[in-house]
Chains A and B, each alone.
Chain A
């Protein structure tokens, strides 16, 4: 072997080495809250860690937390794209327009926007059918309440949250006709102080079940302090508060989706898609129903969960009327996802819920 071949093969080896480096897939995550919120952002970060675990050296992840929804988000995404990100997950509804803007500037970077509705050639959208979990919650809550008052902490009156309220309500009503919902709007996704205040107000008004669509564990702590009040973990299991007050939970499990999408980018098979998965696909999980719930209620709740999972039952099955008494779904009819009266844009309460959707 002469000198020339050695050099040539060394050069080849180096090209191969740098090539391997460049092949490392970079995945960025933009978070609306802190990774330690114990709820929404925590679960997205668990998904990120699962990606690292699944692909090891072949992947490099980066994230920025507490990113306000607006121009700051746009800058953070641009920064990630400039640093060579191949795939960027933007994990809050308010990142929708910024994601579309940045995606237009970086056509070779793939974007995944959570809970939005605007797609592009390099922007996919994904969300989970949390309302399926709400159905199970309502089913348990309706039977557990003694005061027949169920408190509900809403974040923002957007379709996702309203769907949750409606789903929990009709399933609570089905097992307890006297049940009544009291809804407080916190206008935040994550603010332990405001969430604790909202929980206390609801408990003072006689609620012995508090459901939350906000991300911190503050309502759990407030319920624990009050004593005989039950709660459900939101976005994350919040198992630390079991068996009382937390009797079950809705768990967002993004890991399988994040791994699949990262894999698709690696394989070059990524295409723009719209994903809306529920219990069946594993994107929504029902946390362990605790010993505070009687065995028969637990069994029927699990049966409900399984029927939602295998598709034999739809959480919104007629007859269902809107709050004003007009017909929404006829007997046996199930709600469609999109279009007029579809679930995606749901902005009305169902019959029996008191109060108005804030306007």
Chain B
């Protein structure tokens, strides 16, 4: 019989090994699923993991990985700060939407003026929008002790309603024949978050995602605030003795993650997406939670996890169009990744022991 024994200290080796093994376990589990569906499992796995990186059209997919991964990484970096300190912002999706509305709103308010100041102003208001939206759960928590998980999550639905209202009303394209959706910012030079290198699709937001990774790394390693965050997560009592102000930490963590989510929304709406529309948000704020944990709440880990997630999306689409795999199979495949990660994560804190006969109760 196998039994679990708690480790005195979490295993460092397993903390690093778990995600890698989870990917392999997913390949095996997914391969079996694809085989049951009547597809060649090796071809399917190769299409998902290998083709986006090394196939004939990899020159197109590689930069697309960065474009798809950037918002995930940016949001996950923000979330990881709070998660480390036990502050749970589940509403990044809402902050992402509000950031997009504020950023696009600034541009549409001054349309069709052209100025070099417009895009920086949009960046500022995008971040501010996400920040303010995150301040609602922050202030409610510090003032009235509400639960930030519930409040931030509920505010996602409020943000979605606001998004629908903006698409149908205030920000609706006056030249859109009554159809919902704003003007397309891709056709508004001063507001367009254009690709930096022709044909790659890589935009300013990708750069900001990298900056966020570096910033978070330095903050955690070098800055007192980073120390407070780590300390609160590891030992709340010790943090208290060290003089950490828990309320300030709540405001700081929620504000930081909100601003980053808002920025991600702003870069998305002004670049790849182009317009505010009812279906603008596609769940980056929720997927980023998975990315944060898959990346062990560590900036470099999140960078890799974001790219891996993007790889399964893009590889999954290629597998759909070239192998005829149903999209539900791809979603199940992504779900397996999280499932195996959580299962293997247990080995970080527990040891598998072969119980000798008669020794167990």
The answer to whether B317 and A76 touch across the interface, beta carbons within 8 angstroms, is yes
The answer to whether A157 and B272 touch across the interface, beta carbons within 8 angstroms, is no
Q: Of B274, B314, B324, B326, which contacts A62 at CB under 8 A?
A: B324
- Is A270 interfacial (CB-CB < 8 Å)? no
Docked Cα-Cα span, A5 to B186, in Å, equals 59
CB distance from B247 to the nearest CB of A (A): 37
The answer to whether B164 and A93 touch across the interface, beta carbons within 8 angstroms, is no
Interface string of B176-216 (1 = CB under 8 A from A): 01111000101000000000000000000000000000000
CB distance from B165 to the nearest CB of A (A): 7
- Is B16 interfacial (CB-CB < 8 Å)? no
Among A63-71, A233-241, A258-266, A327-335, the one that faces the other chain is A63-71
- Is B312 interfacial (CB-CB < 8 Å)? no
Interface residues of A in 64-98 (CB under 8 A from B): 64-72, 74-76, 78-80, 82-83, 93-94, 97
Q: Which residues of B contact A74 (CB under 8 A)?
A: 272
Residue of A nearest to B172 (CB): A359
The answer to whether A68 and B279 touch across the interface, beta carbons within 8 angstroms, is yes
- Is B339 interfacial (CB-CB < 8 Å)? no
Interface residues of A in 27-86 (CB under 8 A from B): 28, 34-35, 62-72, 74-76, 78-80, 82-83
The answer to whether A72 and B321 touch across the interface, beta carbons within 8 angstroms, is no
- Is A158 interfacial (CB-CB < 8 Å)? yes
User: Knowing A70-B273, A71-B67, A187-B164 touch, does A63 contact B282 (C-beta < 8 A)?
Assistant: no
Docked Cα-Cα span, A158 to B179, in Å, equals 6
* Residue in B277, B280, B313 whose Cβ sees the most chain A Cβ within 10 Å: B277
CB distance from A346 to the nearest CB of B (A): 7
Q: Which residues of A contact B64 (CB under 8 A)?
A: 75
CB distance from B206 to the nearest CB of A (A): 13
The answer to whether B327 and A159 touch across the interface, beta carbons within 8 angstroms, is no
CB distance from A142 to the nearest CB of B (A): 27
**Interface residues in A, total, Cβ within 8 A:** 38
CB distance from A192 to the nearest CB of B (A): 14
Q: Which residues of A contact B327 (CB under 8 A)?
A: 34, 64-66
Interface string of B260-282 (1 = CB under 8 A from A): 00000000100011110111101
CB distance from B150 to the nearest CB of A (A): 20
- Is B57 interfacial (CB-CB < 8 Å)? yes
The answer to whether B178 and A156 touch across the interface, beta carbons within 8 angstroms, is no
The answer to whether A159 and B179 touch across the interface, beta carbons within 8 angstroms, is yes
Q: Which residues of B contact A78 (CB under 8 A)?
A: 60
- Is A355 interfacial (CB-CB < 8 Å)? no
Q: Which residues of A contact B57 (CB under 8 A)?
A: 79, 82-83
Q: Of A76, A101, A156, A345, which contacts B321 at CB under 8 A?
A: A76
Q: Which residues of A contact B165 (CB under 8 A)?
A: 358-359
Interface residues of B in 316-334 (CB under 8 A from A): 317-318, 320-322, 324, 326-328
Q: Of A71, A83, A156, A347, which contacts B272 at CB under 8 A?
A: A71
- Is B169 interfacial (CB-CB < 8 Å)? yes
The answer to whether B177 and A359 touch across the interface, beta carbons within 8 angstroms, is no
The answer to whether A358 and B314 touch across the interface, beta carbons within 8 angstroms, is no
Residue of A nearest to B268 (CB): A71
- Is B342 interfacial (CB-CB < 8 Å)? no
- Is A313 interfacial (CB-CB < 8 Å)? no
The answer to whether A344 and B184 touch across the interface, beta carbons within 8 angstroms, is no
- Is B168 interfacial (CB-CB < 8 Å)? yes
Q: Which residues of B contact A34 (CB under 8 A)?
A: 326-328
Residue of B nearest to A157 (CB): B168
Interface residues of A in 264-291 (CB under 8 A from B): none
Q: Which residues of A contact B169 (CB under 8 A)?
A: 359
The answer to whether B275 and A97 touch across the interface, beta carbons within 8 angstroms, is yes
CB distance from A277 to the nearest CB of B (A): 19
The answer to whether B180 and A75 touch across the interface, beta carbons within 8 angstroms, is no
Q: Which residues of A contact B273 (CB under 8 A)?
A: 70-71
CB distance from B144 to the nearest CB of A (A): 31
Residue of B nearest to A65 (CB): B327
Q: Which residues of A contact B275 (CB under 8 A)?
A: 97
Residue of A nearest to B64 (CB): A75
Docked Cα-Cα span, A210 to B274, in Å, equals 36
Residue of B nearest to A100 (CB): B184
Docked Cα-Cα span, A20 to B322, in Å, equals 20
Q: Which residues of B contact A101 (CB under 8 A)?
A: 186
CB distance from A144 to the nearest CB of B (A): 32
Q: Which residues of A contact B272 (CB under 8 A)?
A: 70-71, 74
Would you give 8 A-B contacts (Cβ < 8 Å), ordered by A? A62-B324, A67-B317, A71-B67, A72-B313, A82-B60, A83-B321, A94-B277, A159-B177
Contacts A34-B326, A62-B324, A76-B317 aside, 15 further interface pairs with beta carbons under 8 A come to: A66-B327, A68-B279, A68-B282, A71-B68, A72-B313, A72-B317, A74-B272, A79-B317, A83-B57, A83-B321, A94-B277, A94-B279, A117-B177, A359-B165, A359-B168
